[in-house]
Structure 1
Amino acid sequence: MTHPFDATLDAPRSRLLELSQEHGASLASLSTLIGRNASYLQQFIKKGSPRKLEEGDRKVLAQFFGIAEAELGGAEDSVREKSYKGGSIDPDSSGWVEVQRLAIGASAGPGTLPSEETPFDTFRFSRRWLSEQGLSDAKLSAITVEGDSMEPLLNDGDEILVDRTERAFRDGVHVVRLGDTLMVKRVARAGAGRFALLSQNLAYPPIEVAADELEIIGRVVWKSGRI
């Protein structure tokens, strides 16, 4: 027999759903933010499992949204934390790493000229999650995908996390610069001194270029987008 949720738990669930919608943050991305599997908060809200958020998870979410923990089921005397936008939380002491969002787009279409690489905001990722992904020492930045050539893997408007750490090249999805054009493509070796830039959308033909014509900016290691 299925029992109705305790009334005291309905408010935190409703509040979390409301906050995710207000901030344009999917439940899957918030689950990732606290180091959980992508369906964790969806199950919390829709199925009541877990019945309440763990203290550490609740604290991280409260800091992210800039609210009192009490709104997510914490004690009423919880101190209200300022949101990450205020820059008041020390990443070193809170278990967070700030990743700059750059005011540029990487074309997944014919190609676009990048604007100035100026940070305009930040994402916060838990150190634990970055470590689990092998990214604890990575040089990371976030940019926006433009165009449809990488669909369905990457959609127009998705934000991608780019690891700009200098590493030995291996085939995969990368942000590259070809001339004055910044683009995101699957990059593969195409023989001595040459690379192939491949699109997921088969409407776009492969592009083959010489290695000295191409600058590999970084490897795409994560994406975030609306469902």
Structure 2
Amino acid sequence: MVSDPTRLRLLELAAARRVSLARLSSMLGKNSSYLQQFIRKGSPRKLEEQDRGMLARFFGVDEAELGASKENSYDAHPPAMAERSRRRSWIDVPRLAVGASAGPGAMADGEQAFDTICFSGRWLRSMGLQPEHLSTIVVSGDSMEPSLRDGDEILVDRTLRALRDGIHVVRLGESLLVKRLDVSRPGIVVLISDNPAYPPVECAAQDMAVVGRVVWKGGRI
């Protein structure tokens, strides 16, 4: 029988919203049994700060109801406190109004942010990524299939660093391209498509600029 007030409150909130513990666990990015074990087996002993905050926002309650001390809790009602908690947990990454071509080449005629996508600040830190160096753009074309498909959203890390294996967004003339890079020959860069229907493209290193490395993708199934 569950007797801990925090665990009982979580059960009550889940029942009131008619949402399963497994679904809530998945929302947190955890194993489907995560919250079941928290409530029934006491493991973990307490919810992590980010998980507790996400659940509090989902249910529209103060974090203190889920085990936080009152001074550190998320209050569902005062807007300033809610906004501070949101900023602590989530990072708004700009979506740019350009497409990186996985085909013949997209014209880079504008790089204005028109929207944002929220990423977990903890996840970004675990990936070694700095929010101020990130942006997202849309893939256009099929030359990088099956790795990237037309319409996929990609997260681009614009941190300056030595080239390494992986997929990059590059600027070639007036176009943005998303390709794998071969820099094994001095002064020459080979742009490689994952789709074998597209042959490699060679260019002089000075004719190409690396915009950033692709570190994440998202798209429709």
TM-score strictly above 0.5: yes
Corresponding residue to 1:50 among 35, 42, 48: 35
Residue pairs, 1:69-80, within 5 angstroms? 69=60, 79=76
Q: Is the 8 A contact 2:97 2:113 kept in 1?
A: yes
Structure 1: segments with no counterpart, 5+ residues: 1-5, 18-26, 83-87
CA 1:131/1:191 → structure 2, altered by over 3 Å: closer, same or farther?
A: same
- Residue 115 of structure 1 deviates from its aligned partner by 3.2
Contact kept, 8 Å, 2:91 with 2:131, in 1: the verdict is no
How many residues align structurally? 188
Deviation of 1:50 after TM superposition, in Å, equals: 3.4
**2:110 aligned with 1:113:** no
Aligned runs of 1:32-111 on 2, under 5 Å?
Answer: 36=29, 40=30, 44=32, 50-51=35-36, 56-57=50-51, 59-60=53-54, 68-69=59-60, 79=76, 89-90=83-84, 93-111=87-105
On the 8 A contact 2:93/2:131 being kept in 1, the answer is: no
Contact 2:88–2:121, Cα closer than 8 Å, also in 1: no
TM-score, structure 1 normalization: 0.68
The question of whether the paired residues in 2 share the 8 Å contact of 1:143 and 1:161 is answered with yes
Rounded to whole Å, the distance in 1 between the matches of 2:18 and 2:56 is 14
Runs of 5+ unmatched residues, structure 2: 1-11, 40-46, 67-74
**SS of the counterpart of 2:124?**
helix
Structure 1 residue 8: deviation in Å?
Answer: 1.6
Q: TM-score, normalised by structure 2?
A: 0.70
Percentage of identical aligned residues: 46
The answer (yes or no) to whether the contact 2:90–2:119 under 8 Å persists in 1 is yes
Q: Check whether the contact 2:100–2:178 (CA below 8 A) recurs between aligned residues.
A: yes
Cα distance, 1:214–1:91 mapped onto 2, change above 3 Å: farther
Q: Distance between the aligned counterparts of 1:182 and 1:106, measured in 2?
A: 5
1:205, CA displacement in angstroms?
0.4
Amino acid at match of 1:114: A
CA shift for structure 1 position 13: 4.5
**Distance in 1 of aligned mates of 2:92 and 2:140:** 23
Q: Is the 8 A contact 2:56 2:76 kept in 1?
A: no
Match of 2:18, as an amino acid? A
Helix, strand or coil for the counterpart of 2:18? helix
Counterparts of 1:209 and 1:149, CA distance in 2: 18
DSSP-derived class of the 2:108 partner: coil
Which residue identity lines up with residue 124 of structure 1 in the other structure? C
Shift of the 199–81 alpha-carbon distance from structure 1 to 2, 3 Å rule, reads farther
Counterpart of 1:8, as a letter, is: A
1:194 is matched with 188
Which SS does the other structure have where 1:216 is aligned? Answer: strand
Following the alignment from structure 2 to structure 1, what is the Cα–Cα distance between the partners of residues 78 and 140? 35
- The one-letter code matched in structure 2 to 1:219 is R
Answer yes or no: is 1:134 the counterpart of 2:128: yes
Q: Which residue does 1:184 correspond to in 2?
A: 178
CA RMSD of aligned residues (A): 3.5
User: Is 1:213 aligned with 2:198?
Assistant: no
CA contact (8 A) 1:104 1:144 kept: yes
Provide the rounded CA distance (Å) in 2 between the counterparts of 1:226 and 1:180: 29
How far has the Cα of 1:61 moved from its partner?
Answer: 6.7
